[in-house]
Amino acid sequence: MKGGGTAHTHGKWRTISRMMKTSSLSILALQETHLTEEHRNELERRYDRMKIYSSPDPDNETGKGGVAIILNKHNTSWQDAQVEYTIPGRAITLTVKWGHSSTMRITAIYAPAGTATEKAVFWTTLRDIWRADRTKKPDILLGDLNMHQEKARPVWGVWHGHHGCTIAAHP
């Protein structure tokens, strides 16, 4: 979203709200949101269709990073959603009711674009979280993974979620 928490992005939020309505989108993941709690609350007041779960960068809320998941209040059981700040500013997980009796875990990612070491630390941290508690693994992984095919190493594991979704993650 590149600067979603700043004043010059009001048009972007208006577009997102309109798109969620006209396309009947239920869930949307955003990266580089730069959202403070105050701005998130303001957006939810302005666009009453959206419930925004946001994890800003802990060191610079309005200047860099941040990740969010938006639920369309008209299409989801947003009141029952449970949020986990998996890696603040980089990964947020939402458990939502899906269908009549199922739940679905969705993780939105904004992976570092920096050095190989920064990337390795991020993905290793996620791997360790998911290995330590298998119930923390998402059914769906969305976002900006900041990977390039020519640089990716073939060391990825694949998990099959119980909703028929496939998730790739560093083993």
In angstroms, the CA 68 to CA 37 distance is: 12
In angstroms, the CA 104 to CA 138 distance is: 8
| Contacts by 95-103, CB closer than 8 A, 24 or more apart | 96/27, 96/71, 98/163, 102/163
**Annotated binding residues for Mg(2+):** 32, 144, 146
**Annotated binding residues:** 32, 144, 146
Provide the token pair at 57. 């960068």
The ranges assigned to domains in the chain are 7-169
pLDDT score recorded for residue 108: 96
**7-169 classified as CATH 1.20.272.10:** no
CA distances from 108 to 6, 10, 54, 87 (A): 21, 22, 10, 10
What value, to the nearest 5°, has the Cα angle with vertex 66 and ends 4 and 166?
Answer: 110
pLDDT score recorded for residue 78: 92
In angstroms, the CA 103 to CA 118 distance is: 32
pLDDT score recorded for residue 149: 59
pLDDT score recorded for residue 101: 85
Output the tens digit of pLDDT for each of the chain's 171 residues: 454 444 556 688 999 999 999 988 899 999 999 999 999 999 999 999 999 999 998 887 787 889 999 999 998 999 999 999 999 999 999 999 988 889 999 999 999 988 889 999 999 999 999 999 999 999 999 999 987 655 555 444 444 444 444 444 443
pLDDT score recorded for residue 12: 87
